[in-house]
Every structure is written in C-alpha cells, then in structure tokens.
Structure 1
Amino acid sequence: MTFSDHARGIFDGAAYLSSRQGPLLEALRTPAYFARCFIDAGAPCWPNGLALSAAPLHELIEAEQTT
C-alpha cells in the first residue's frame, strides 16, 4: 500500500484476520474472496460492504516497519 504521506508497506491480510472476528470478515478468509478487494475513496473494500479505514492500516504498516 502507498499512502498520501508516501508511507509504504505491505498489508498482511492473513495476520490481520487471525486476530479479528466478525461476520463481514469471515468471507475474507477465503483467498478468492479476499482477492476481490477494490479501492473506494482510498479504502480497501469488498463486495460484502466491508471497508477498512486507512488510518488503522497506516498504523499497522508503521508498527510492522519498526519491529
């Protein structure tokens, strides 16, 4: 991912999903469905209506770069 402040990193979807639960997240556990991601208004989204906010993703990427 590349953010507007030029921060860059790789979003590890498997790691993200391993620590979270919820009905909208269940579909993302299937690789074919996860691959249906699209960007809408700067946020990664999926056809089931799930949108991940850019701010927490930015924090995750920053945290991974410092470890």
Structure 2
Amino acid sequence: MPLSSVLLAWGEQHREELLGELEQSAAAPSAHAHSTACVKERVMMFLHVDQVHALEGYTLRLAFNDGTIKDVDLAGELDGEVFAPLKDTGFFRRVAVNPETGTIEWPNGADFAPEFLHEIGRAVHQAA
C-alpha cells in the first residue's frame, strides 16, 4: 500500500477527533489561542489532488485541496517497471483522480504521492 494511501486512511480515521479538538479550541480561545491554528494545520496537512487534466507530453495540470493549481512535468519521473507503461503518451493521458487515495492514478495502479506532485509542480496563475 502506498504511503499516501496510509496517510490518507489515517487522516480520515482521525478526522472527527481532529475537528473536535478544533471546536474545543475555538470554544475556549483564551486557554490555548495558538492551538486552533495548530489543529487546523493538522487537519489540512493531508494534501489531496482534486482534479487532473493532461496537457502536452507528460505534463499534468493538478488542482489540490489547498487551493493551488500546478503544472507537473513527470517526464523525468517515469523510471521503474510500474511507470514503464506511462511512457506511452496515450496511456499516460488515461490518468484519473482516485477519490479513495486522493491522488492521481493510472489503470495499471501507478500513482504518485500528492505531496511529491505538489512539491515538484509549477504554480499556475489563474486569471480572476
């Protein structure tokens, strides 16, 4: 099981607990004024890919749950047996978001961690 799947499962399993901490912190702001921010950060640390669009070559435009949109060129990341089929651009374009794992995935099960994609992506500036 990919690490991103494990982290996503943990986050979903503990989501109510984290949100409960957030509500308690908001109800008693004088007790721990900084804890609300800490809990929000813990809840938001689970980065997900919400949308994917294949662009030219091996570049994908990804929308993340933190509101960022990034273009990610994966041409240099397709090493190894599981990624070999992705070198066929027709197969590469069959990418989709897996709602269970919160990241992109291909029909052969190849995937990338959303944190990695976010890190290597180039921010896209959207027109207002």
What TM-score bracket applies, with the shorter chain setting the length? 0.7 to 0.9
Q: Percent identity?
A: 28
Q: 1:30 aligns to what?
A: 88
Tell me what 2:108 maps to.
Answer: 48
What's the C-alpha RMSD, in Å, of the aligned pairs? 1.5
Q: Does 1:59 align with 2:112?
A: no
Instruction: Give me the TM-score of the superposition, normalised by structure 2.
Output: 0.43
| 1:6 alignment partner, one of 47, 51, 67 | 67
Shift of 1:16: 3.2
Higher relative CO (Cα under 8 Å, sequence separation at least 6) belongs to: 1
Per-residue CA distance 1:26-56 (angstroms, 9 max, x = gap):
1000000101111103211011111211010
C-alpha displacement at 1:59, in angstroms?
Answer: 0.6
Gaps of 5+ in 1: none
Greater fraction of residues in strand? 2
Larger Rg: 2
- 2:77 is aligned with what amino acid? Y
